[in-house]
Structure 1
Amino acid sequence: MGKVTLIATAPMGLEAIVSREVKNLGYENVRVENGRVEFEADEAAIARCNLWLRSADRVLVKMGEFKATSFEELFEGTKALNWPDWLPKNAEFPVDGKSQKSQLSSVPACQSIVKKAVVEKMKDAYGIEWFDEKGPLFRIQVSLLKDIALLTIDTTGAGLHKRGYRKLSAQAPLKETLAAAMIDLSRWAPHRPFLDPCCGSGTIPIEAALIGRNFAPGLLREFSADHWPTVTQKMWDAAREEAHDLADRNRPLEILASDIDPDVLSLANYHVRKAGLEDAIKIKNLPLAELKLEAQYGVIVTNPPYGERLGEAKSVEKLYEEMGDLTNHLDSWSVFVLTSHTGFERFYGKRADKKRKLFNGRIECNLYQYLGPLPPRKRAEEAGE
C-alpha cells in the first residue's frame, strides 16, 4: 500500500508533546492541529505508534477529508475512498460521528449515510450484497467541522491510556497519558531522584519508571489493528521485538511514591507488580510532613486532591501548605503540581515559575511549575544521559 496518513489524537494542551513523540519515532511531515498530530508513515508505523506513544489518546488511519454540506456530498465523498484497501469482506465496521459548526448537524443521519456509502463501496469491490461483520473490528469515525468531513479508522481500540497494568481503580484516577505528559514537561531524566508524595494508585511513579527504563507503554496489551490483515503479524512481531530490545530492564532508578492512605497504596503496590517494576519504585505510607529527602536535583511530579468535594477544602489547603514546607528545604529540586484549586500558590506559599493549562478528564487544571537547577553536566554524563 505504501505511505498512509496517520493521526495521533491528543488531549487539549498536549499536542506539542505528542508531536515530539511522533518525531522521536522517526516519522516526518508532522503537522500539528487542535487535538491531533498528523503524519505520513507506512503500515508498520501503526504497530510502533500504538506501542510507543505515551501521551496520545489513540492512533487513527486518515481515510480522507472533503467538504460536505449535503448528504449527497457526504455519501459520494465517502464512497470515493479506498475502503476495501483496509476492510476485509468480513470486517466489523461500526460508524461513530460528531459534528461542530456544520450544516450537517444530525450526527445519527451522518453515521447512517457513511455506513451506507462504505457498504456500497464494499459491494462493488467484493461482488456480494451482504456483510456479516463477524471479523476484525474497524471502527470508522466521521467528524464534521465547519462543513469539512474527516473520515478515519481507529487502530487502537481501548484508549492508549489503557496500558494493561492498572486492573483496579482508585477514586478519580489520573490517566496514564496525562501522567506521562506531566513527566515529559518536568524535564526529569533517569539519573535524577523522583518523588510523587500524593501517589494514590501509583500512576505517576509507574509512568516515570516506564520512561526511565525505556519500556514501551503498550507492551502489555493488544490493539484493534492486531487483527487487521493490512498490519501483518510480521509487522507486529517486529515492533514488539524492537520494543523488547530497547528496554533497559536493569537501569537503576531512584523513584519514591508515598501517600497517607494505606488502602490506596495497596492498589499502588498491585499496579507496580503488574507493571513488573517492584525494584524500580519504593512505596511508603507517610504523610507529607514526615517525608525526609536527602538527595539533590530531584523532581517532584504530583496530582494531589483538589478539594472539590464538600468538606474537603480545608484539609486540601493544609496539604498544600505542608507541600510548600517540604519543598522549601529542597533548593535544588523542581516541583510540578497539577490541581484545579485556584488558590494553590497562596497555600503553597510561592508563585509558580510557569503555569500550563491542562485538562484532567473534564476538569480544567493548572500544572504549577517550580523550576530548580539542572544537575551538573558531569553527573548527567556519568549517568549516560
Structure 2
Amino acid sequence: MQKLTFAATAAMGLEALVGKEIEQLGYEKKVENGKVIFEAPVTAIPRCNLWLRTADRLKIIVGTFKATTFDELFEGTKALPWEQYISEDGQFPVIGKSVKSQLHSVPDCQKIVKKAVAERLKRKHGIAYNMPETGALYRIEISLLKDVATLTIDTSGSGLHKRGYRVGQGEAPLKETMAAALVLLTNWKPDDPFIDPFCGSGTIPIEAALIGQNIAPGFNREFVSEDWFYMKEKYWQEAYEEAEDMANYDQPLDIHGTDIDHRMIEIAEKNAFEAGLADLIRWKQMQVKDLTIKEKNGYLVGNPPYGQRLKDEKEVFQIYHDLGQVMNNHPTWSVYILTAFEQFEKAYGKKATKKRKLFNGFIQTNYYQYFGQKEKGD
C-alpha cells in the first residue's frame, strides 16, 4: 500500500477550496463535481482528516468499474483487494447511492457488494463461515453514476464538520465546514479586525479563530481510521505533532461575535471555551443597528436569517437595511453575507462587488461580497 487514491468530498461550490487545501498539504489533485481526487501515501489519512477545513469526508477509493448488471457488480467488487484494507474481524457495513444507472435499486446493490466483499475476505483470510465483524469499522460506499460503480471506504467516521467543540446550537446551525469556507473565501488576514453580527452559536468566529492561529480543525476529535490495522500509531502521532508545530498560538486576534439573542451568546461562549478559544473571541448581545465599529480595514462575515417564512420577510428586510446603513459609514470594511433572501441587495442598499452561488445544506444561497476601500499605513 505505497500509494492510495483518495476522494475528499465537498459541498457543491466548495470543491476548488478543498482542492486548494489538499495542494497546501503537498498532494497533487484533480477537482471534480462534489469531490477532489488525489493520490497520496497512507500518512495522508491522519494529515487530511486533521487539516481539511472545508471537506465533508475523506474516503479511500478501492476501485472503479462499469456495472450494468448485478453479476458485473458482484464480480467487479470481488476482484478488488479488500483484504489490504479490511482486517479479518473488521465490520464492513455498506451504504449506497445510484444516479442515472441501470442498477437503480440501492438496497440490492448494497447486498451484492456486501456479499462480494465477504466472499473475497473469507477466501483471503481463510475463514470458512461468516465473517466475525467484531473489530474496527470500515464503512463501504457503493456509488453508481451513469453505470460506473465506485467503491470507497470512509476514513473519517463522523463527518469532518464535527470538530468536537459544539456543545450547543441554534435552530438552523451553519456547518463548521461551510463557516470555514466563508472565512477562506475572503481576503481576511489574522491581523485584521473581524466581526460576525449574526453569530448564533458562534461557528463563523470560532472557525475564523482556528484559521487565524492555524489550528488544525480536527485536533479535538477522533477518527474511525485510528483503529485500522495498517494505521500505525506513529502516523497519527507524527500528524498531531506536525499540527502542534504549525499552530501559531501567539497570533493576536481581534474577533467579535454579536447576536440579538442572549441565549445564543451564552451557547457561543460555551462552544468557544470547548474549542480552547475562550480568551480570543469577544461576544456581545446586540442588534445589528447598534453595531459600533472603531477600527478600519476590517471584515464582516455573516449568515443572517433568510426570512424564508412569509411573516419574517419584512423583519429580515429591515435587518439587512440596518446593516447597510451601519456599514455605509465604514467604507474601509469588506462585507460578506450568505443568504437566500432574493432582495438582499435592495435591502442593503448597494449592489455587491461579487456574488458566489453556494449551497447551505439544501438551500441555494448567494454569498454577497462587498470589497472595502482599504486605507494604507494604518
TM-score, scaled to structure 1? 0.96
Render the CA deviation track for 1:146-202: whole Å, top value 9, x for unaligned.
Answer: 000000000001100000000222110000000000111111110111000110100
Deviation, 1:375, is: 6.1
Render the CA deviation track for 1:123-163: whole Å, top value 9, x for unaligned.
Answer: 11111022121111100000000000000000001100000
Deviation, 1:216, is: 0.2
**Counterpart in 2 of 1:65?**
64
**Counterpart in 2 of 1:93?**
92
Hey, what's the Cα distance between the residues in 2 that align with 1:232 and 1:80? Answer: 27
Give unpaired runs (5+ residues) of structure 1: 380-385
Give unpaired runs (5+ residues) of structure 2: none
Asked whether 1:39 is paired with 2:38, we answer yes
SS in structure 2 at match of 1:5: strand
Hey, what's the Cα distance between the residues in 1 that align with 2:150 and 2:374? Answer: 44
**Counterpart in 2 of 1:75?**
74
Hey, what's the Cα distance between the residues in 1 that align with 2:274 and 2:251? Answer: 18
**Residues 374, 44 of structure 1: alpha-carbon distance in 2 compared, 3 angstrom cutoff:** farther
SS in structure 2 at match of 1:88: coil
Hey, what's the Cα distance between the residues in 2 that align with 1:309 and 1:235? Answer: 49
**Counterpart in 2 of 1:226?**
226
Of the structure 1 ranges 168-177 and 205-214, higher mean CA displacement relative to structure 2 is found in 168-177
Asked whether 1:359 is paired with 2:356, we answer no
**Counterpart in 1 of 2:14?**
14
Render the CA deviation track for 1:23-50: whole Å, top value 9, x for unaligned.
Answer: 001111x111100000010111000000
Question: Residue 206 of structure 1 aligns to which amino acid in structure 2?
Answer: I
Hey, what's the Cα distance between the residues in 1 that align with 2:109 and 2:7? Answer: 21
Hey, what's the Cα distance between the residues in 1 that align with 2:260 and 2:97? Answer: 42
Q: 2:15 touches 2:32 (CA, 8 Å); kept in 1?
A: yes
Render the CA deviation track for 1:218-265: whole Å, top value 9, x for unaligned.
Answer: 000001101111221110111011111111112100001111110111
Hey, what's the Cα distance between the residues in 2 that align with 1:289 and 1:276? Answer: 31
Of the structure 1 ranges 241-250 and 110-119, higher mean CA displacement relative to structure 2 is found in 241-250
Hey, what's the Cα distance between the residues in 2 that align with 1:24 and 1:173? Answer: 28
Runs of at least 4 residues off by over 4 Å? none
**Counterpart in 1 of 2:150?**
150
Render the CA deviation track for 1:328-365: whole Å, top value 9, x for unaligned.
Answer: 01111111000000001100001111111111111111
Question: Residue 68 of structure 1 aligns to which amino acid in structure 2?
Answer: A
Question: Residue 137 of structure 2 aligns to which amino acid in structure 1?
Answer: L
Hey, what's the Cα distance between the residues in 1 that align with 2:213 and 2:161? Answer: 18
In the TM superposition, 1:61-210 aligns within 5 A as: 61-128=60-127, 129-210=129-210
Deviation, 1:374, is: 4.9
SS in structure 2 at match of 1:22: helix
**Residues 82, 191 of structure 1: alpha-carbon distance in 2 compared, 3 angstrom cutoff:** same
Hey, what's the Cα distance between the residues in 1 that align with 2:201 and 2:21? Answer: 26
Question: Residue 123 of structure 1 aligns to which amino acid in structure 2?
Answer: K
Hey, what's the Cα distance between the residues in 1 that align with 2:138 and 2:115? Answer: 15
Deviation, 1:293, is: 0.7
**Residues 375, 236 of structure 1: alpha-carbon distance in 2 compared, 3 angstrom cutoff:** farther
Q: 2:61 touches 2:152 (CA, 8 Å); kept in 1?
A: yes
**Counterpart in 1 of 2:242?**
242
Hey, what's the Cα distance between the residues in 2 that align with 1:50 and 1:173? Answer: 22
Question: Residue 169 of structure 1 aligns to which amino acid in structure 2?
Answer: Q
**Counterpart in 2 of 1:331?**
331
Hey, what's the Cα distance between the residues in 2 that align with 1:195 and 1:45? Answer: 34
Hey, what's the Cα distance between the residues in 1 that align with 2:230 and 2:17? Answer: 28
Render the CA deviation track for 1:65-120: whole Å, top value 9, x for unaligned.
Answer: 11001111111111111100010011000000000000101101110110011001
Deviation, 1:373, is: 3.7
Hey, what's the Cα distance between the residues in 2 that align with 1:215 and 1:310? Answer: 41
Hey, what's the Cα distance between the residues in 2 that align with 1:310 and 1:272? Answer: 34
SS in structure 1 at match of 2:92: coil
Of the structure 1 ranges 305-314 and 254-263, higher mean CA displacement relative to structure 2 is found in 305-314
Render the CA deviation track for 1:272-307: whole Å, top value 9, x for unaligned.
Answer: 110111221111111111111111110111000011
Question: Residue 355 of structure 2 aligns to which amino acid in structure 1?
Answer: K
Hey, what's the Cα distance between the residues in 1 that align with 2:315 and 2:182? Answer: 25
Q: 2:167 touches 2:267 (CA, 8 Å); kept in 1?
A: no
SS in structure 2 at match of 1:312: helix
SS in structure 1 at match of 2:311: coil
Question: Residue 304 of structure 2 aligns to which amino acid in structure 1?
Answer: P
**Counterpart in 2 of 1:5?**
5
TM-score, scaled to structure 2? 0.98
